[in-house]
Structure 1
């Protein structure tokens, strides 16, 4: 049985490698090469299922003022994102829900589901700062980062399975898989996750500027985040860039978004 499994994996490896090379020719909206193998309808369904589970577990805010502000910013950001990146695959419809949660957080799921925590509104003090967060989350969706991350995780597991089946020696199969799993996490998973965050930051800058929100407010947002949050793990062990690195990268990329913002119709979500 074990030999048959080994032979089957050996037979499949050329096919899997060919598929990965072909998929690697795809590009994100910023031009970065991307490997995303999971069918989009499946990603959207998984995103929808996860979002519904969240809705059942987490209360949704009934504050009409908060909902009106978040929905206003989200509409402007989504319209600007579709105009800025017209060639990107995008959801048929977007859904933004404000959850009652004190954590200053927001998230995006495949299929166009975006969640905003009420706690974020204590850190994102202006509509432009909120636009920086929602633009960032929309960037994740348009760049298909969820698919890329899932493809990556499945690929790492497949490689570890092959190594586990063929490994011998003093270290032993279990220890070797643990060591390679740590190496894969530090060498592959985390750097790619940081790349996703950085790409979403840059896309978010371009999107919020096109929507008529001052992109300089993104820097103010992350300064607020740094003040509100405690210590962060070392950057090389974190999926997110450290606040200082993030702010520096945003400032370095500010020239083009500022030019876009000066030509855009100012957004009005203050009411």
Structure 2
């Protein structure tokens, strides 16, 4: 096979989500292995945060995030089609960093800055939570890794994961977020899927999906928003907000049915 044909085949495979997941399996990044690796990374993140006294387990911000996490987790379980049971865990880190991410198997990390700096309502926190949970449920990390394998093979480059801003935190949180968390924006479509799935998940849990729009409107107004950690991988733009508005009616129908 000549180089041009090989590149064409690889490019086509990158575009296919199932293709990326299959490549990840072939590269040893199957779902069970990824979930186990993410658990180890999450535990290391928690231990490091404990030693640095940056793990939040008692503030009012933590309690709000944790209550929403616990309320949404059972609904997330009903949407799990990965073939692997998720062991949902939450870590809230004390930092002004405006960020949140998820690692395979349901390991969610929130920075207090995203709630405090944006003055988020519970519904808006649920919008962030639903978005991140959907990333895990649809195994976007696995697809990202498969795409990375293909990209490395096609262009002959080395490791190129995109890290998150640290906010003065330890390396374990950065490693978990950049290596197995959803961070590399190789496909805008994955973000759209997480947005749409997040709307439905928060609606099922009884949170108003319209808060997803106000969340991203707040994001866009942040000083220096273009350089923020969350916006570097979760681009907030007019097209994205408009897409959310188009998906709102279906989510609102689910939400209103609960009332």
The TM-score with structure 2 as length reference comes to 0.72
Q: Unaligned 5+ residue runs, structure 2?
A: 161-182
Q: Deviations over 1:43-81 (max 9, x none)?
A: 112212322332244320143432321121012222222
Distance across 2 between alignment mates of 1:231 and 1:132? 19
Q: Deviations over 1:192-214 (max 9, x none)?
A: 43211111010000000111000
What is the match of residue 103 of structure 1?
97
Distance across 1 between alignment mates of 2:131 and 2:83? 16
| Within-5 A mapping of 1:1-271 | 26=18, 35=22, 36-37=24-25, 38-58=29-49, 59-83=54-78, 85-122=79-116, 123=118, 125-161=120-156, 192-232=186-226, 239-265=233-259
Q: Unaligned 5+ residue runs, structure 1?
A: 1-8, 28-32, 162-176, 182-188, 266-271
Kindly tell me the number of residue pairs found equivalent between the two proteins.
Answer: 216
Distance across 2 between alignment mates of 1:98 and 1:131? 15
Distance across 2 between alignment mates of 1:72 and 1:214? 16
Superposition RMSD in Å: 3.2
Secondary structure of 1:98's aligned partner: strand
| Kept after mapping to 2: 8 A contact 1:69/1:127 | yes
Could you tell me how far 1:150 is from its partner in structure 2? 0.8
Secondary structure of 2:221's aligned partner: helix
Distance 1:121 1:220, change over 3 A: same
The TM-score with structure 1 as length reference comes to 0.69
Distance 1:75 1:65, change over 3 A: same
Q: Which has the larger radius of gyration?
A: 1
Distance across 1 between alignment mates of 2:223 and 2:41? 27
Distance 1:230 1:261, change over 3 A: same
